[in-house]
Amino acid sequence: MKPLRIMATPSPAVGHFFPMVPMLWALRSAGHDVRVVVPAFFVNTVLQSGLAAVATAPVSEEEALDARDDTDDDHTTGTYRRLARIANAMAGDVERIVDGWRPHLVISDPMDFTGRCAAAEHGLAHAEHWIGGFLPTKPRTSAARHVFGARHEAWPGMGSVPEVVIDPCPPGFQSAGAPSGIRTRYVPYNGPSAVPAWLTDRGRPRRVLITLGTIVSQGPEAHQLLERTLDATARPDVEVVVAARPGTVPQELARRARAVRWLPVGLAAQHCDLIVHHGGSGTTMAALAHGVPQVVCPSVLDQTDNARRLEELGAGRLVPVPAALASGGELVRAVEDVLGDPRYAKSAAVLRDENDAAPAPARAAEQLLRTMGER
C-alpha cells in the first residue's frame, strides 16, 4: 500500500490523546505519515510520545482544560461547547494544514471538533478513535449548533457516529447499544516515566493506588477528597501509593502514603490490588487492562458511566464525590468490601481477559486501512 498521510486531532488533554497513541504508532510503524494537530501548548505532550506534532492557534492550556461555560450549569454541555470554541480558534490553521498537506485520513476522538469539521468541509475520510465506552452524540450536536451556528448544518455526520470507529473497550464493558467498530486491544500509554524499583517488590503487603487524574486533581475539592481516600485506605496490612504531580499534595497528606509521585497508571496498575480514582476513562481502562478492581468517586462526564458499569459487572464500587466528602464512611465500606471480597478481582480478571483477546493495535491498524480503502 502506498504510504498515507494521516492527520490525528485529539482533544488537547492527555485523557483523549494517550488512548490514541498505540494506534497512531501502529500506523506510523506501518510506514504512514502520521501527524498530530494540536494547540501549541499541547505540542510537547505529543513530542514526548515520539509522534510528529503540528502546532495550531495559541489556545491557552487554561482555556482548554477549563470545562465550565459561564452560561451553562450543565458540566457536560459546557465541556463540549468549550472544545467547540477551541476548534473554532484552530480552524484557520487547520484549513492551511489541510490545503497544504492534503491528508488522506483524519482520526479524531469522540469529543474533538477540529478533525470532524475539517473532514466534513473537505470531504476527507474520517475515523473516530474511542477513549473507552461509547459517548452519546447529542451533547456534541448541541455544542456544534451553539458555537458554529448555521455552518454546522452543512456538515454531514456532525450529530452521528462516523461509519468507521476504532473501539478499544472490552465488549463486556462497552455500553449497551454502542455501534460496532474495529476492535483493538487497549494498550495503556501514560507518557514517559521512570518506574521505581520498589514497585515490583515481591512479598509486599496489599497495595492501593490512589489517583485523581490530571484535571480532577486541580479542582477545589481535590485535597479533601484525597484526605478522605487516605482515611479509607489506612490499614496496617495495606501499602498506599498516591499518583500525583509533584507539589500538588500537601505534606501532611503526603506523609501518609508509601510514595507520592507521578506514576504511569498503565504500569503501576499491574502491581496493585485496588485502584481508587475519579473514573476517567484512561485510569478505568488501564485498570481493566490489568484486571485490577476499582473504587470510583466520579463527578462529571463519562466518569459516572464508567463507575456504574464497573459496579454492574462486579468489578468495582461507585462512591459519589458528595458521599465520599460527607463523612468518608461510605468510602471506607467500599474499600473494605473490594479488598475483602475476591469476587471483585475475579470479575476484573474477566474484563482483562477480554481485552487480551482483542487484536493488537498493529492488526487493528491493518483492518482500519483495509476498511478505508474499500470506501
**277 and 154 housed in the same domain:** no
Q: How many domains does the chain have?
A: 2
Q: What is the pLDDT of residue 70?
A: 47
Residues 40 and 98 placed together within one structural domain of the fold: yes
Question: In terms of domains, do 256 and 160 share one?
Answer: no
pLDDT value, residue 158? 60
Q: What is the pLDDT of residue 216?
A: 52
Domain with 74, as residue range(s), is 5-186+358-373
Q: Based on the domain organization, do 21 and 82 belong to the same domain?
A: yes
Q: Residue 126 belongs to a domain with what CATH number?
A: 3.40.50.2000
Q: How far is CA 19 from the centre of its chain?
A: 6
Does 71 score more than 80 pLDDT? Answer: no
CA distance 37 to 20: 13
Q: Is residue 122 part of a domain?
A: yes
- The sheet with strand 125-129 has its strands ordered as 52-56, 33-39, 5-9, 105-108, 125-129, 164-167, 182-183
**Sheet strands (E) in 4-96:** 5-9, 33-39, 52-56
Residue 98 pLDDT more than 80? yes
Which residues are registered as beta bridge partners of 199? Answer: none
Burial of 373 (0-12, 13-18, 19+ CB in 10 A): exposed
pLDDT at position 69: 47
Closest CA to 297 of 281, 320, 280: 320
Q: How confident is the model at residue 163 (pLDDT cuts 50, 70, 90)?
A: confident
